[in-house]
Amino acid sequence: MDDGCEIAVWKIEESVDEILTLFSKKQAKKYAKEIERFQFPKRKLEFLISRLLLNIITNSEKTVTYNKSGRPFLTDESCEISISHTQNYVAVAAHSSHRVGIDIEVRRDKAARLKNKFMSQTELDSIVDDAQEHILLHWSAKETMFKLMDEQSVDFIDHLHILPFSCDFDGGEFYCHETRTEQEQSFNLKFLMFDDFVMVWGTSSLS
């Protein structure tokens, strides 16, 4: 991407055993043990594929861990990463120097049903056409902002703000800002729309 982000998306069509064959023997053995803690195959696949995508993006075998808030990072600190998954898809983003956030959402009406729980009245009033897509992109953008901030007690209505934007099916960008922290950061997020899903990503100068 022209913003320095490396992004990879995988559509899940394989079994757990099939995905394990795509790792080195050492990693496959390690991950086969780690995924025993997950009850459902879907969660196992999301875990495995996110690690596989990181291997592909970085062209090396990486180990992922998490900070106290749940933000993932690489143990060798070679780059910043973000992970997202939705129904049948996994997305991973990496950036060499900036904190990165990514969110992927299957196109369905769930976000539209819950719009009053994460969109301000100003944001709702800004929607004219393609309402369902606009609402889903608002949700995905706020999820991405939340990941970039890495803060607790974030209210999606009171703290996360998105300026009006055009719902271009060829992709576009959002201008957003947050009022949760002293920095009151501004974000320029990008989005792409596909037949099955939407994807939003962006970076922050924070590390």
Q: Tell if the pTM clears 0.85, that is, is over it.
A: yes
Residue 179 has a pLDDT of: 96
Structure token digits, residue 172: 């576009």
Q: What type of residue is 160? A: L
Q: What type of residue is 152? A: Q
64-111 pLDDT, tens digit per residue, is 999 888 899 999 999 999 999 999 999 999 999 999 999 999 998 888
Residue 185 has pLDDT above 90, yes or no: yes
Say how far apart CA 182 and CA 72 lie, in whole Å. 24
**54-to-105, 114, 179 alpha-carbon distances in Å:** 19, 32, 32
Contacts of residues 13-22 at CB distance under 8 Å and 24 or more positions apart, as own/partner, are 13/88, 14/45, 15/41, 16/41, 16/44, 16/45, 16/48, 19/45, 19/48, 19/49, 19/52, 20/48, 22/52
For range 3-15, the mean pLDDT = 94
The full set of domains in the chain, from first to last, is 6-102 (3.90.470.20), 103-204 (3.90.470.20)
List, in sequence order, every residue forming a beta bridge with 104; answer none if it has no partner.
199
